[in-house]
Structure 1
């Protein structure tokens, strides 16, 4: 990991705290959630940029400078941000809240990560609502003058999340049983697959292994053939080539790009968390329905 040496003159040049609380988050999805909870009462900035691969992100000294005047840092936890502890150790005494606290984690199966918690809990409806409550509680604790606003914003936002995902979840559960296979590059959809009533299959468990061993690839090919699985997807932050090779090998179709770890730029397909849920879920349901 890159060194986080911050020059004294750089820190001295930082502007004084604005009147509004400043919140930093480890990645863009939490940032968007936090902006919806914050409303006009706080400023929120993501450490990682749109489209970044967050598991093995390499923070820069610029990230540290931008974040060093934060009043609160929000992290996912569940071993998602392997880089975060070293980063936050350079920040001094800034409160950190783990927004997945209270989520019952699912376990990763296979490879070096077997038995470890799957960190992608925000992809499940119930877990997402826990995230929002934790964000609101952390903001209220850091900025009690605006606690009522944070809680009200959180309740309204949770209703929007539910309205977005529940109809798509129902559509997935209505698919024929033999079409309920979700095959992807990364095993990032365990929570969504559970909620949607899908069986999950993937080339690698975590994007730190973003190619898949020959044994992993062969296993996916064999399972797809045995169960006549006819569609495979990949994620936006990795190459689609391994998934396309499996599609070619099995006679399946490549079903398109799913978004899970990162939002896009504002002009892209998933500039918000609600967009990410909608686009990813629609892509999955449409792919399985039309396979």
Structure 2
């Protein structure tokens, strides 16, 4: 009788578990929106992603909150950018890596393809997302990280990565075609901080920032004065503000040029260290770069599609 009761109890437990139960999604925490988007593209339904830094957030200055710490310590996988982008979080991430699976994705890239850092001899420009061709390499790193933690889904991750990289190939081509319409004498991209170096290298623009690679670097009066003189001497008519950086220094340039009788306008707001609003096209990596490419091209007089590469941009041109 006792044996029969045990058998019935065991059968009840077995029947209580759905036969088609799915494995819970992999919990991934990413520091930036760009990395979170990459994880969603590669991981699909197999991942549940949380981004610590939302629209308008500057990763150079960001410090983890108590809520972040809880999410990070409970994650199956933590992905951060590295290359000293999240400078204020480095020590925490290094400590966390002793307890959780933590990967600094951009640190895996070969240094031969990276730009030097203007403030530190032993570090590199972290803004690799500004060049879609480089971001394809970051997608490979995301695929590797996910497959290492969840090897049974490796084939799915590989297929998703390849499909997304095809989208990035189309983005590269759109950038080359659209930005090539900007006349050579106008190919100067000046913004709040030096976030567009890889963009300039890929698309043939001279790039300048009021501040250096990090938003934590200071822009002195001599720097402002030199840039104003450059705008006037070279008759540059458009400069750009950034969604995650104060526009105060850029507006100082415009006022300085005006004092010398030269009119400079804001060519538009660019996404530099953060993407657009969640749930929007600009809140995806492709949408972010589509916006930047189309905005820059339009500001310098190039003929651009009314709503960008995919016809999805929120604002028309």
TM-score of the alignment, normalized to the shorter chain, above 0.5: yes
Query: 1:92: Cα distance to partner?
Result: 4.9
Cα contact 1:36–1:154 (8 A) shared by 2: yes
Matches of 1:185 and 1:216, distance apart in 2: 12
Q: Structure 1 pair 268/21, CA: closer, same or farther in 2 (3 Å)? A: closer
Q: Structure 1 pair 193/281, CA: closer, same or farther in 2 (3 Å)? A: same
Query: 1:201: Cα distance to partner?
Result: 1.4
Instruction: Specify which of 198, 202, 205 is matched with residue 209 of structure 2.
Output: 202
* Partner residue in 2 for 1:147: 154
Secondary structure (helix, strand or coil) at the match of 2:273 reads coil
Is 1:258 the counterpart of 2:264 in the alignment? no
Structure 1: gaps (5+ residues): 1-17
Q: Structure 1 pair 195/259, CA: closer, same or farther in 2 (3 Å)? A: same
Is 1:46 the counterpart of 2:56 in the alignment? no
The total of aligned residue pairs comes to 271
Q: Structure 1 pair 115/86, CA: closer, same or farther in 2 (3 Å)? A: closer
Cα contact 1:37–1:132 (8 A) shared by 2: yes
* Partner residue in 1 for 2:9: none
Is 1:192 the counterpart of 2:186 in the alignment? no
Is 1:105 the counterpart of 2:114 in the alignment? yes
What's the C-alpha RMSD, in Å, of the aligned pairs? 1.9
Cα contact 1:236–1:258 (8 A) shared by 2: yes
Matches of 1:176 and 1:119, distance apart in 2: 28
* Partner residue in 2 for 1:274: 286
* Partner residue in 2 for 1:94: 100
Q: Structure 1 pair 30/170, CA: closer, same or farther in 2 (3 Å)? A: same
Length-normalised TM-score, structure 2 = 0.80
Cα contact 1:113–1:205 (8 A) shared by 2: no
Matches of 1:48 and 1:240, distance apart in 2: 20
Secondary structure (helix, strand or coil) at the match of 2:269 reads strand
Secondary structure (helix, strand or coil) at the match of 2:135 reads helix
Query: 1:165: Cα distance to partner?
Result: 3.4
Return the index of the structure with the highest Cα Rg: 2
Length-normalised TM-score, structure 1 = 0.87
